[in-house]
């Protein structure tokens, strides 16, 4: 199935901002899957997964506010889950469906978890990619070392080298996959150099100085839809014990781990795509 690009205007406390999203139409009448990326990434990370899923599903991959082709928020606005949840609720309304399946990597998984915990949620199946109710402070501290920086690169090769360094935990990606991620992670500056395709202000929640483990267990325990947790076996954000606990409470998710991968599985390899596809097919 071919991809098409769209956008919608979302209301926030200070006005409107535009959210861009990619769509793979899928077969007529197919269920809708929404795939939401991690903190510094964008919806084009899901191209290989979306292409595979579009055999059976309509697939929607948004760029969350401040990332990719979507607008950056006005300076007086604050990046955070209230904005993200409002945006995806408006996206679901635009899509004209009552129910969706959700695939979320890291931040995208947290958005899905928070939405799935709400009364009358539209989410009917949930995939949590290397994220859960507890995020280990060690992983948060690692992310805080690079998120929000605004490095300048002379060309795409230099940007890709940086991406390979900060995202090494994604696992063994092919040269073509790294280049794909680099192309869509690049923002052209007025002087012709390149920057990263996100608003550095997305890092403001990380400027607290001291980090601790998160606790979203109350939200997790309210989820009732079938849930799959994916974990990189070397993840420093979703610890093995916390992932196992997710199989014992709340929606009692299934758990699949991938060897040789940290935070977070890129969902580009055949085995990772198959795990998601099989679960969504039910």
State pLDDT tens for residues 210-243. 788 889 999 999 999 999 999 999 999 999 999 9
Q: What is the rounded distance in angstroms from the CA atom of residue 9 to the CA atom of residue 20?
A: 9
Give the Cβ contact number of residue 223 at 10 Å. 26
Instruction: Kindly write down the DSSP assignment for every residue of 64-97, as one continuous string.
Output: PTTBTTSPPPPTTS--SHHHHHHHHHHHHHHHT-
Do you find a cis peptide bond into 264, omega within 30 degrees of 0?
yes
91's tokens: 């996206």
Model pLDDT, residue 147: 85
Per the structure, the complete domain to which residue 144 belongs is given by 3-281
State pLDDT tens for residues 183-211. 999 999 999 999 999 999 998 887 766 78
Per-residue exposure over 256-276, b if at least 16 CB sit within 10 Å of its own CB, e if not: bbbeebbbbbbbbbeebbebb
* Domain harbouring 111, CATH code: 3.40.50.1820
Please give the tally of structural domains in the chain: 1
Task: Sheet with 15-24: list strands edge to edge.
Answer: 3-12, 15-24, 58-62, 32-36, 100-105, 123-129, 227-232, 254-258
- Provide the percentage of residues in the chain whose pLDDT is more than 90: 91
Model pLDDT, residue 280: 98
Q: What is the chain's pLDDT, residue by residue, as a tens digit (282 residues)?
A: 689 999 999 999 999 999 999 999 999 999 999 999 999 999 999 999 999 999 999 999 999 999 999 999 999 999 999 999 999 999 999 999 999 999 999 999 999 999 999 999 999 999 999 999 999 999 988 888 888 889 999 999 999 999 999 999 999 999 999 999 999 999 999 999 999 999 999 988 877 667 888 899 999 999 999 999 999 999 999 999 999 999 999 999 999 999 999 999 999 999 999 999 999 999
Contact assessment for residue 259 and residue 233, using Cβ atoms and an 8 Å cutoff: yes
pTM (predicted TM-score) = 0.97
């Amino acid at each position: 199935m071919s991809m098409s690009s769209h956008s919608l205007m979302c209301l926030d406390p200070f006005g409107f901002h535009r959210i861009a999203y990619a769509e793979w139409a899928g077969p007529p009448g197919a269920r809708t899957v929404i795939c939401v990326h991690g903190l510094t990434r964008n919806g084009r990370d899901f191209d290989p997964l979306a292409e595979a899923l579009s055999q059976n599903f309509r697939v929607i991959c948004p760029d969350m506010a401040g990332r990719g082709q979507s607008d950056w928020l006005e300076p007086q606005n604050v990046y955070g889950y209230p904005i993200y949840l409002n945006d995806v609720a408006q996206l679901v309304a635009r899509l004209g469906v009552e129910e969706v399946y959700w695939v979320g990597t890291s931040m995208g998984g947290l958005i899905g978890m928070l939405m799935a915990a709400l009364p009358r949620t539209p989410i009917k199946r949930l995939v949590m990619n290397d994220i859960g109710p507890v995020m280990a402070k060690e992983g948060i501290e690692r992310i805080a070392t690079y998120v929000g920086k605004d490095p300048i690169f002379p060309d795409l090769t230099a940007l890709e080298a940086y991406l390979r360094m900060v995202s090494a935990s994604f696992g063994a990606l092919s040269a073509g996959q790294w280049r794909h991620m680099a192309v869509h992670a690049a923002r052209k500056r007025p002087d012709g150099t390149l920057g990263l395709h996100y608003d550095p202000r997305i890092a403001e929640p990380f400027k607290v100085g001291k980090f601790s483990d998160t606790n979203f267990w109350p939200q997790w325990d309210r989820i009732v839809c079938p849930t799959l947790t994916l974990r990189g076996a070397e993840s420093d954000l979703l610890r093995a014990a916390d992932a196992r606990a997710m199989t014992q409470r709340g929606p009692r998710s299934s758990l699949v781990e991938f060897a040789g991968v940290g935070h977070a599985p890129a969902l580009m390899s055949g085995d990772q795509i198959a795990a998601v596809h099989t679960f969504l097919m039910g």
